[in-house]
C-alpha cells in the first residue's frame, strides 16, 4: 500500500478542498442573501419576467403597486391576471418590442394601477440575457415620480404666470426709457442720457428674457401657432437682418447677405422663422469682435434651403457642443467674454420651432468661423433623384465684407 505520509498528505488535501468548497458555498449564499435583502428593501419597484411575460422575481414594492399580499403572489402570473385585457396587451406589445430591439428603454409616463389609482412613473426596461447571450427575459425598474412631476408642473405654471404679470410693466418701462432716449421728452444732460440708454438696454434685455420664457411655455404646452404660408427665403433673411440693425448699437459689426439660391421659396410660419433667424443673427452680433463681420448665406442643398449665419466670435467650447440645444444650457465661457447672459432657452426654442416646420438647426466651428445653419424644405423642391449635397464648405468666399 501507499506510505502513511502519502495517505496523510492526500487526506489533508481533500479536507482542505472540501473546506474551501464549503466556504465558497457559504460566501455565495451570503452574497445571494444580501442581494435579495437589497432588492426587497428598495422602495422602487423591481421585477424580472420571462420571455412569455410571466413574473419570475419581484420585490415588496412591486407587490404593493400590483395590490397583492406578497411578492410570491406575482410569481408565475402575467399582467393579464391583473389588468383589463386591452391594457395588459398594450404592456405586452411594448415589452415584446423592447426584447426584439435588444436595447434598454426609459420613459416617464402616467400609469394606472390594477385598482384604478394613477401615478407618474419613470420606467427602465432592459432585455436580460444568459451567459450564452440568449434572451431569457426582461428586467423592469419603476420609480414613482408623481411628486416631482407635480412640482415641475407647478414650477412651469408659476414661471408662466410671473412672466405674464411682468410683461406689461416691463413694456411700459421700456417705452418710457425709449422715449427719454429719443429726446422727444426734452434734451438730457450727457450723464443722464447715458443712464437712460443703459436703462433702455436693460429693459429690452429683460423683455427678451420674458419673451423666451413665454415662448418656451407655449412650445412645451403645444399652444404655439405654426400655421404655414409661402415665404421667399431672401425676404425672411432680409427682414431678420433689418430687425437687428440697431442691436447693440455700440458695436461696430458689418453684415452681409450672400444669396446663392435666387428665388428660393419656403412653406413655413413667417413669424416663427423670423424669431429663429433674429435669435441666431443677434447672437452672432453679440459675440462678434468689434469691427468684425456677420455673414448670412442662402444656399440650395438637394431639395432643402440652408440659411447659415457666420461670425468670427469665440464660438462654443467643445465641452458644451453636445448640450448646445438643450433647455437651460448656459454657455458661461462665451457669455462671460461679452458680459451677456440669458435664460439658456433661446437655442432650445429655436430648435423646437424649426423642428415643427420640418427643418433642423446645425452648429459647426472651423478655422475660427462659427456657423449656425437652418435647413428647411424648399417649396419648389429640386428634381427627383438629385443627390442631396452636403452643407456648403466654410470658406473665405462666404465672408466678403460689405
pLDDT of residue 397: 31
Task: pLDDT band for 99, please (50, 70, 90 cuts).
Answer: very high
Domain boundaries, the chain: 1-41, 42-144, 147-224, 226-399
Q: Is the pLDDT of residue 395 over 60?
A: no
**Statement: residue 154 has pLDDT above 60:** yes
Given this chain, do its domains 42-144 and 147-224 carry the same CATH topology? Answer: no
Mean pLDDT value of segment 248-275 = 88
pLDDT for 188 equals 87
pLDDT above 80 for 298: yes
Taking all residues of the chain, what is their mean pLDDT, rounded to a whole number?
82
Give me the pLDDT at residue 300, please.
Answer: 93
Domain 147-224: which CATH class? mainly alpha
- Tell me which of 3.30.360.10, 3.40.640.10, 2.60.40.740, 3.30.565.10 is the CATH number of domain 226-399: 3.30.565.10
Checking if the pLDDT of 308 tops 90, the result is: yes
What is the pLDDT at residue 10? 66
pLDDT value at residue 366:
86
Sign (positive or negative) of CA dihedral 87, 92, 97, 98: positive
Predicted TM-score (pTM) of the model is 0.55
Q: Which of 8-17, 27-36, 275-284 has the highest mean pLDDT?
A: 275-284
290: which DSSP letter?
A: T
How far is 257 from 280, CA to CA, in rounded Å? Answer: 14
- Mean pLDDT highest for which of 14-23, 74-83, 374-383? 74-83
Helix or strand (DSSP H, E) at 299 = strand 293-300
Backbone angles phi, psi at 360, to 5 degrees: -155, 160
Give the containing element (helix H, strand E) for 190. Answer: helix 190-221
Taking the CB of residue 177, how many other CB atoms lie within 10 A of it?
20
The three state secondary structure string of 302-345 is CCEEEEEEEECCCCCCHHHHCCCCCCCCCCHHHHHHHCCCCCCC
Strands 105-112 and 304-311, by their bridges, are unpaired
Between 91 and 248, residue with greater pLDDT? 91
Mean pLDDT of all residues in 328-337: 48
Q: What is the rounded distance in angstroms from the CA atom of residue 244 to the CA atom of residue 239?
A: 9
pLDDT value at 12 more than 50:
yes
Position 400 scores a pLDDT of: 32
Distance CA 56, CA 76 (A): 6
**Domain 42-144 top-level CATH class:** alpha beta
Of how many residues is the chain composed?
402
Whether the predicted pLDDT of 344 surpasses 70: no
Q: What is the pLDDT of residues 103-142, one digit of tens each?
A: 999 988 888 888 888 899 999 999 999 989 999 999 999 9
Ramachandran class of 303: left when φ > 0, alpha when ψ lies in -120 to 50, beta otherwise: left
Spell out where 51-146 has E strands.
55-58, 105-112, 118-129, 135-144
In a 10 Å sphere around its CB, with 0-12 CB exposed, 13-18 middle and 19+ buried, how is residue 125 labelled?
buried
**Phi, then psi, of 369 in degrees rounded to 5:** -110, 125
Q: What is the pLDDT of residue 250?
A: 63
Cα dist. 194→182, 188, 313 in Å?
12, 9, 27
Amino acid at each position: 500500500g501507499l506510505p502513511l505520509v502519502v495517505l496523510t498528505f492526500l487526506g489533508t488535501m481533500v479536507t482542505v478542498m472540501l473546506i474551501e468548497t464549503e466556504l465558497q458555498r457559504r460566501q455565495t449564499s451570503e452574497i445571494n442573501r444580501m442581494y435579495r435583502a437589497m432588492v426587497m428593501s428598495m422602495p422602487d419597484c423591481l421585477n424580472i419576467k420571462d420571455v412569455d411575460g410571466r413574473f419570475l422575481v419581484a420585490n415588496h414594492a412591486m407587490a404593493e403597486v400590483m395590490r397583492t399580499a406578497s411578492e410570491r403572489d406575482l410569481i408565475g402570473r402575467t399582467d393579464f391576471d391583473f389588468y383589463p385585457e386591452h391594457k395588459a396587451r398594450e404592456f405586452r406589445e411594448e415589452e415584446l418590442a423592447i426584447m426584439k430591439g435588444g436595447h434598454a428603454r426609459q420613459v416617464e409616463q402616467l400609469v394606472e394601477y390594477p385598482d384604478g389609482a394613477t401615478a407618474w412613473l419613470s420606467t427602465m426596461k432592459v432585455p436580460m440575457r444568459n451567459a450564452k447571450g440568449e434572451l431569457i427575459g426582461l428586467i423592469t425598474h419603476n420609480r414613482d415620480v408623481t411628486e416631482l412631476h407635480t412640482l415641475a408642473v407647478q414650477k412651469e405654471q408659476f414661471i408662466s404666470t410671473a412672466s405674464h404679470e411682468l410683461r406689461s410693466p416691463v413694456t411700459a418701462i421700456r417705452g418710457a426709457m425709449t422715449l427719454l432716449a429719443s429726446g422727444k421728452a426734452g434734451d438730457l444732460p450727457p450723464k443722464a442720457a447715458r443712464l437712460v440708454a443703459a436703462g433702455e438696454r436693460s429693459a429690452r434685455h429683460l423683455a427678451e428674457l420674458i419673451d423666451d420664457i413665454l415662448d418656451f411655455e407655449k412650445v412645451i404646452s403645444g399652444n404655439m401657432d405654426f400655421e404655414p404660408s409661402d415665404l421667399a427665403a431672401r425676404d425672411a433673411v432680409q427682414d431678420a437682418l433689418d430687425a437687428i440693425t440697431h442691436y447693440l448699437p455700440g458695436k461696430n459689426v458689418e453684415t452681409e447677405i450672400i444669396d446663392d439660391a435666387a428665388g428660393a421659396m419656403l412653406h413655413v410660419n413667417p413669424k416663427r422663422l423670423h424669431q429663429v433667424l433674429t435669435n441666431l443673427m443677434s447672437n452672432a452680433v453679440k459675440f462678434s469682435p468689434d469691427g468684425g463681420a456677420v455673414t448670412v448665406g442662402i444656399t440650395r442643398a438637394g431639395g432643402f434651403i440652408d440659411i447659415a449665419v457666420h461670425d468670427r466670435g469665440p464660438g462654443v467650447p467643445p465641452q458644451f457642443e453636445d448640450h448646445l440645444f438643450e433647455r437651460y444650457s448656459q454657455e458661461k465661457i462665451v457669455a462671460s467674454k461679452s458680459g451677456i447672459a440669458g435664460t439658456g432657452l433661446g437655442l432650445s426654442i429655436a430648435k423646437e420651432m424649426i423642428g415643427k416646420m420640418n427643418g433642423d438647426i446645425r452648429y459647426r466651428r472651423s478655422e475660427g468661423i462659427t456657423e449656425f445653419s437652418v435647413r428647411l424644405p424648399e417649396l419648389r423642391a429640386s428634381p427627383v433623384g438629385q443627390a442631396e449635397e452636403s452643407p456648403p464648405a466654410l470658406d473665405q468666399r462666404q465672408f466678403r465684407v460689405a
